[in-house]
Amino acid sequence: MGRYLVTGGAGYVGSHVALALQERGDHVVVLDDLRQGHRAAVQPGMELVVADLADRRRVEEVFASWRFDGVLHFAALSLVGESMREPLRYIAENVGNSLWLAEAAVRAGVRRFVLSSTAALFGMPTRIPIDEAEKVGPVSAYGESKLMVERGLEWADQVLGLRSAALRYFNAAGADPGGRLGEDHNPETHLIPNTINAALGLGPALTVFGTDYDTPDGTAIRDYVHVTDLADAHLRVLDRLKDGPSCRYNVGSGTGASVMEVIAAVERATGRPVPHVLGPRRAGDPPVLVASNAALRRDTGWVPQLGALDSIVGTACAWRMKNPGGYGDVAAAA
């Protein structure tokens, strides 16, 4: 049994990782400013510290209050479009807060650090599926900020002995199969929840951006990984850092689904049509983005258990149909 600090642990991916840690018997301390996270996503038995990572004194107090076996870092600004309107804010906050957190961890004697990174590092990839040898070249300030954090962590390993793992997600999706956690962003920018919202009448009709790609149905293809499988990947790399070197992994299902396939899956799960309109391509959208997860499988034994599109969409739909108001419904029922 260990004790772990999970920053951003009241958010979407962070809360699922915190739950996975708790379910295997670890003690979890969540640090979240609740700007995008939800108090109701923090499970009973976890400690919640409401604080901003930029508050250095408060962060130091957290490390002084508990002895941690590792840090899992999810707290960050994460909207690609917003990052292109406010690039300096994204770089200043994401890079500064992350590396300050790593420095505080080192001073407290913590030697394991897991970073929530992103496939946005790769920009416009040259080959599919995308493996770890693909050249990085972010085309957004958000992607650049994560790359800068990864580089900072490499120096922290080389000079200070902080072993780190960076997991470069493709598209996290789905919800806890037990119904305890789900996806609730404001604004919501992800395809699957927006498709579900359109079907349930909780949001506007979906816009399909581009129908003339060189794909079987003309719509863009993306790799979706179930958030519970993603949580399992975090635990596996965390444990690998006990005796292994720092590492960087791409995390996806290894298969792709088109926008029209997502729409069809939501219609199957909800039993309702998805109102949608066809629009032009968005600038910079590649036709296909699919991960190679071969390195993660080889090194950790990770295998997606909920990788089928219907499993991903089904759990997401079940949570949203039970909680049409998101975590506001969860809090009201508590």
Residues serving a catalytic function are 142
Distance CA 301, CA 238 (A): 13
Phi, psi torsion values for 198, nearest 5 degrees: -65, -45
Q: Which residue has the tokens 């949001």?
A: 203
Distance CA 191, CA 197 (A): 10
C-beta of residue 188 within 8 angstroms of C-beta of residue 194: yes
Cα within 13 Å of Cα(251), Cβ side: 34
Cα within 13 Å of Cα(184), Cβ side: 29
